[in-house]
Chain A
Amino acid sequence: MNNRAATIGGYVAGFALLFLIWHFASQFLVRSVLFPSPFPVFERAVVLIEDGLLQEAVLASMRRILQGFLLGSALGIPIGLALGSFRPVRLLLEPWTEFFRFIPAVAMITVAVIWFGIGEESKIFLIAYTTVFVVIIATAAGVGAVGKDKIRAAQCLGANRFQLFALVALPATVPYILTGMRLAMANAFVTIVAAELVASNDGLGKMLWDARLFMQVEDIFVALISLGLLGFATDRTFRLLIRAFAGRFNPTM
């Protein structure tokens, strides 16, 4: 409990320091209308929240992230497991993963818009795209990293092939899967903004884009801070989940 208080205290102090430096930088170093101090930004944030605009943007972006992320993970985990478990599947699919993971989701935006329009589908496609390869690679690596003795021990306790997979390989791979998903979540944040910048009617990316058009510097900062906080909160939640469900698997996480 004490430890937890220290952690939270550290976060609060860390963020406070960040805002303090920002304030001083805007007052004494840069001194430009293009670089507002935190206070007008907070005021603007309050207004946006009162009007319900910020919540709307956050919800729109988060919904897309979650949908695409879950879709990408749901595809990536079984593919990764198959890839790690069966040599023919690996030989067949590895060139794909090695090829597509170098084509960033941002580069796929144009294709996504042509295929799916500027509605929800294109964003969900892009998030799923950016998620799926990271999850596949992490999952396959996890399967490959299952200790030889763990497999052998199960074999001489009488495990058949299905039991080896379900009771040894799969649970041993869970920490790798979760770590892959965590990395993918960070990618999803990058991708959603890019996708919404280019083509969208709502979301934080759209908010950034509009603010740029109308030179509303405070709005830009509100959107940026929202992104940072959302990403931070999501990642923390993920870490807590990893601890709760998989703390046993990897005590160092």
Chain B
Amino acid sequence: MALVALEGVGKTFRGRTGAWEAVRDFSLELAEGEFFCLLGTSGCGKTTVLNMLAGFEAPTTGRILLDGKPVRGPGADRGVVFQGHDSLYDWLTALDNIAFGLRLRGMAKAERRAVAQRFLTMVGLTGQGAKHPSELSGGMKQRIQIARALANDPRILLMDEPFGALDAMTRAVLQNELSRIWAETRKTVLFITHDIEEAVALSTRVGVMKRGPGGTLKAVVPVDLPFPRERTSDGFMQTFRQVHALIHEEIHPHE
């Protein structure tokens, strides 16, 4: 059985400007341990899909199953890394941010700090645990977010363009780190991006979405390349071109 199943999921927003069908008939199964990248143009409904899977929003049609059970609202079994870093708690140190989920579960202070320390090291921030978010760079904040989600040991990690706001160099470093962490933990990941290279570098499968309204999954491309990925290798280039062609049709539909 798949870890996650989205079955004919649709979402229509109703507001002052009328109804807007953001996502239509979206079906996808994620297996335990895979790294799935969801790729698509801006506004095609990527975040909407993630928000429904996270439980922040309910689908209008279809259903979402986790371990065969329907998703109802957010829960600790789905960790989320947000695009911005507003989700960190300014009043807590980096270490206490990472330990926050463990604190919610009532784990003793010494114990949860020890666990958090391990994840702080995993994201490469050893010795920086006493700093507050206001004292961290954008890249460091995203590392803390990743560590916070992982420390809580969710069944799946949902990441919405976590590196979108970073400069190219920091982004490349964090991509490599994430790849290494994933290889270590084999956590199931759903990763949203609109960066083709990022998708091919990180994932085991890339799903390309059709433009909205009614954004849906258009094609899924398996990426059977060994890790660590060599971005200049022929295999990488070939997959890149394949995905690029799929995206290109969405950007220039009438060519």
CA distance A168 to B86 in the complex (A): 12
Count, chain B residues at interface, CB 8 A? 29
- Residue ID in chain A nearest B85 by CB atoms: A149
Indicate whether B4 reaches chain A with its CB closer than 8 angstroms: no
- Residue ID in chain B nearest A164 by CB atoms: B104
Q: Is the CB of B104 within 8 A of A249?
A: no
Distance (Å) between the CB of A14 and the closest chain B CB?
Answer: 30
Q: Is the CB of B132 within 8 A of A248?
A: yes
Q: Is the CB of A158 within 8 A of B152?
A: yes
Chain B residues, Cβ within 8 Å of A153: 80, 82, 87-88, 148
Indicate whether A157 reaches chain B with its CB closer than 8 angstroms: yes
Q: Is the CB of B76 within 8 A of A157?
A: yes
Q: Is the CB of A156 within 8 A of B86?
A: no
Chain B residues, Cβ within 8 Å of A155: 55-56, 73-75
Indicate whether A217 reaches chain B with its CB closer than 8 angstroms: no
Which residues 86-105 in B have Cβ within 8 Å of A in the complex? 86-91, 100-101, 103-105
CA distance A158 to B105 in the complex (A): 8
Q: Is the CB of B104 within 8 A of A150?
A: no
Indicate whether B84 reaches chain A with its CB closer than 8 angstroms: yes
| Interchain CB contact (< 8 A) of B76 among A149, A158, A249 | A158
Per DSSP, are chain B's interface residues mostly helix, strand or loop, or mixed?
A: loop
Distance (Å) between the CB of A81 and the closest chain B CB?
Answer: 16
Chain A residues, Cβ within 8 Å of B194: none
| Interchain CB contact (< 8 A) of B104 among A167, A171, A174, A251 | A167
Instruction: Given the known inter-chain contacts A157-B101, A158-B101, A158-B152, please indicate yes or no for A249 contacting B79, CB distance below 8 A.
Output: no
Report, nearest first, the 4 A-B pairs whose CB atoms are least far apart.
A158-B76, A157-B101, A149-B87, A153-B87
Given contact pairs A157-B100, A158-B105, enumerate 18 new A-B contacts (beta carbons under 8 Å).
A149-B82, A149-B87, A150-B87, A152-B54, A152-B74, A152-B80, A153-B148, A155-B56, A156-B75, A156-B78, A156-B79, A156-B154, A157-B79, A157-B152, A158-B104, A249-B90, A250-B90, A251-B134
CB<8 Å pairs between A and B, sample of 16: A150-B86, A150-B88, A152-B54, A152-B80, A155-B56, A156-B79, A157-B104, A157-B152, A163-B104, A171-B89, A172-B91, A174-B91, A248-B90, A248-B91, A249-B91, A250-B90
